[in-house]
C-alpha cells in the first residue's frame, strides 16, 4: 500500500520572474534540481542523488538505461534532496532562470479527473 502524503505547504511569488517557496515540516523532503535553488533556511540539508529518487532498475544495464533516458530528455543525471533536519518548519525556494508563470497542479485532482474520464469510456 502506498504511503499517504499530505498537502505541500507552498507560496508562489512574483509576476514575470516567479519563484515558489516550500515549507518543510521536520524530516520532510523535496527533490529538485539544485540549479533552481534560490535560498533555504538553516536546518535544511542537501543530498545529491543519482536520478530522481525512484528505486533504480537492478544491475548496471538498468542504471545505464535510466541514465540514458534522462540525458535524452535534457534532464540532469543528478538531483538534490532538500530535507528539513531542524526542529521546526523550514523553507526552501526554487525559481527558473527565465520568465514564465508557475501554475500549481494538485495531482490528486488530476488522478480523480483521469479516473472519471476512464469510467465514461
- pTM attached to this predicted model: 0.71
Sequence length of the chain is 121
The domain defined by 9-50+78-120 folds into: Double-stranded beta-helix (3.60.160)
Instruction: Say what percent of the chain tops pLDDT 90.
Output: 37
Domain parsing of the chain, residue ranges: 9-50+78-120
Number of other residues whose CB lies within 10 A of the CB of residue 20: 19
pLDDT at residue number 72 = 76
- What would the pLDDT profile of 49-86 be if each residue is shown by its tens digit? 876 566 655 666 666 676 677 677 766 677 899 999 99
pLDDT at residue number 5 = 61
Q: What is the mean pLDDT of residues 84-98?
A: 93
pLDDT at residue number 120 = 74
pLDDT at residue number 2 = 47
Kind and range of the H or E run holding 116: helix 107-120
- The answer to whether 20 and 94 are in contact (CB under 8 A) is yes
Amino acid at each position: 500500500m502506498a504511503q499517504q502524503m499530505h498537502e505541500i505547504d507552498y507560496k508562489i511569488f512574483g509576476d514575470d520572474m516567479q519563484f515558489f517557496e516550500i515549507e518543510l515540516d521536520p524530516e520532510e523532503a523535496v527533490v529538485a534540481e539544485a540549479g533552481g535553488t534560490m535560498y533555504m533556511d538553516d536546518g535544511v540539508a542537501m543530498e545529491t542523488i543519482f536520478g530522481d529518487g525512484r528505486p533504480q532498475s537492478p544491475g548496471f544495464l538498468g542504471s545505464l538505461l535510466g541514465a540514458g533516458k534522462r540525458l535524452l530528455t535534457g534532464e540532469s543525471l543528478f538531483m538534490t534532496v532538500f530535507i528539513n533536519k531542524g526542529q521546526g518548519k523550514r523553507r526552501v525556494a526554487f525559481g527558473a532562470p527565465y520568465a514564465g508563470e508557475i501554475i500549481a497542479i494538485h495531482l490528486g485532482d488530476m488522478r480523480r479527473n483521469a479516473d472519471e474520464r476512464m469510467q465514461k469510456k
